[in-house]
Amino acid sequence: MDRAAGAAPHEKASDRRLRSGSHSVQRATSRYDAALATSRRVSYPAGLLGGHVRVAPHWSPADSGPGARRRSLAYTDLMAVFYPPNTMSQPTVSDAPFECAQDEGASAAGESDVAEGLASWEPTLKRAISSIVSIKAQCVRSFDTETSGTYTATGFVVDERAGLILSNRHVVNPAPVVAQAVFANYEEVELQPVYRDPVHDFGFFRFDPSKLRFMTPEAIRLAPHKAKVGMEIRVVGNDAGEKLSILAGTLARLDRAAPEYGTGEYNDFNTFYLQAASGTSGGSSGSPVLDIYGDAVALNAGGSSKAASSFYLPLNRIVRALDLVRRGQPVPRGTIQAEFEHLPYDELRRLGLDIRIETQMRDAFPASQGMLAVRAVQPGGPADGILRAGDIVIALNGRPVVDFVAFEDIADSSVGGAVAVSVWRGDKAYDTRIGVGDMEAITPHQFVEVGGGIVNEVSYQIARSYGIPVGGVYVASSGHVLGSGSAWRGSVIQSIGGTATPNLAGFVQAFGALRDGGRVPIKFFALAQPHKLKVAVMSVTTHWHAMRMATRDMKTGEWVYRKLNAPPRLPQDIAPQAASLGRLPASLAPGDRVWPSVVFLDFHCPYLVDGMKNTQFLGPGFIVDKDRGYIVCDRDTVPISIGDVYITIASSIVVAGRVDFLHPV
């Protein structure tokens, strides 16, 4: 159920940050030496150690005795934290950290606190736990890749003044949700989703800080540049439904491909993920991945069901989005509708990469072990017909690019324009220009409720999963009207009643022209079989549900409803119709006399009440009074009185009926 490179000023901030950290190390070491020197001069009272004892002036860890062993362990712990072992140089998430200058002093102070505590996780976790919340949420409408239901997750405060909580996209949810956050002292506040990324697995909730009466949480600092292979981490959150769990791990990879959660589900792409064997499970989504200084180095997003591996989203793109959300500004997201993958140089050589290009890239980016290659191009997108699968990206706008962060930094700053793309294809280099579209424009922000069902436009997520163009009307929930035509969830509607439905506006216009109680053809295809068009007859009944359109306010995250004009319910004008019935053989003469009285009943439930698990029931009935039009059937065919019934006579004439009597037993 999982991202921007900084400019020169941020590089300088990083240099200052590293120097500040080294000074704190020196200060902490000096304090330890001073404390040790003081202990050599202090005489302890006899009541404490059973005599007048003076510490040896030239003590070393090699000295024997329990006290010496305790001092040796303390000294070893100090060295393990402030003088970490050298590790092999690994590609980091970003060469230039995307951090704010005002956070540097806070981080240095935090490291000093840890230094004074001799590198213990206890004070770090004590501070962090007050800022980590358990999230209870209910998705109230099926929408896009999401289905309605309840779930629990985790989030953490990233701005205590603005009341911003960071969590995953699949927690914040693109669909309408009702959510609450429970803090460590069991205070509960309402949450309002304010932003979710169109592709990457992160989003922000907002709460009212004034609603917290008994605690004041501190924001957890985001430090994407600190992620390193071999770093000890703690994942703190609502793991497996528990209010608080603390899971330990060690970062093993910084360049893992984004995890795949299944076709038709939400999936992240065009980003690296971090990996560690922390064994997270359901409920831990949105947990901070903390270092020993209490900074978040990544965001927990998912895990493997067959191993202890957990997958964390890097924070680079999150830091950028947080800064814009704080200022109340939109978050630009550009796309050329192509998916990329990071391949090592040995695989790139098989794609034809020239050794001279590889040499130049290795010299320019010594920490990187590969480059980006095109994995797939979205049909109908800006890159369709320009890029091909297997193309190797060399540069964007003349700037060499080897990772996702740099690529997205250029794309996000070019929305509505174009980028110059240099690629290597086969044995030649090609230069081209590709338009950059707005990713939010191909991410649905509207849906229509009709006949108990929900439809929205085909999103970038859905289109990518099935390799179809973005656009069209997607059935997120069929309800009893669309379900009567077998247009179930996962269908894309092409036309209704002979009127094309290329988008949501076309669907509203086509459906509004129908008559309540009528039966019209509906043309659609299932996403699992996009090349197989289906045509069915749909029963139009809108008197059970209002027809409404919901639109998401991009600034506040609220969904605003607008009532639509539903098809009118007019008196049914039934013209006399003739039909013929085949005769049964003479051996079935008694049945031949009953045969004209047999009808076929199609019953549709608008609501799942009274224990109903299905919305459609089929069965036979018998005409018992042709003058008054009474038909008798069993309760398996018409289980409840709430619903619409359609009667088929002589296998050709279909009329609407109603339930006049239902036996209570």
Start-end of H helices in 117-242:
121-129, 169-172
Task: Give the span between the Cα atoms of 316 and 294, in whole angstroms.
Answer: 18
How many CA atoms are closer than 13 Å to the CA of 175, on its beta-carbon side?
Answer: 24
Q: Of 100, 158, 164, 104, whose CA–CA distance to 128 is shortest? A: 158
User: Rounded distance, CA 111 to CA 295, Å?
Assistant: 10
Asked if residues 155 and 301 have their Cβ atoms less than 8 Å apart, the reply is no
Residue 374 CB contacts under 8 Å (≥ 6 apart), including other chains: 338, 339, 340, 387, 388, 389, 390, 391, 392, 393, 423
The 3-state secondary structure of 463-484 reads HHHHCCCCCCEEEEECHHHHHH
* Residue 312 β-bridge partners: 274, 300
- Which residue intervals of 341-458 are DSSP H helices? 345-350, 355-364, 404-412
Pick from 236, 295, 365, 301: nearest CA to 100: 295
Q: Which residue's entry shows tokens 């040896």?
A: 56
Catalytically annotated residues: 170, 201, 284
Burial class (CB in 10 A: 0-12, 13-18, 19+), 340: buried
3-state helix, strand, coil in the chain (%, to 5): 25, 30, 45
Q: What is the 3-state secondary structure (H, E, C) of 229-293?
A: CCCEEEEEECHHHCCCEEEEEEEEEEEEECCCCCCCCCCCCCCEEEEECCCCCCCCCCCEEECCC
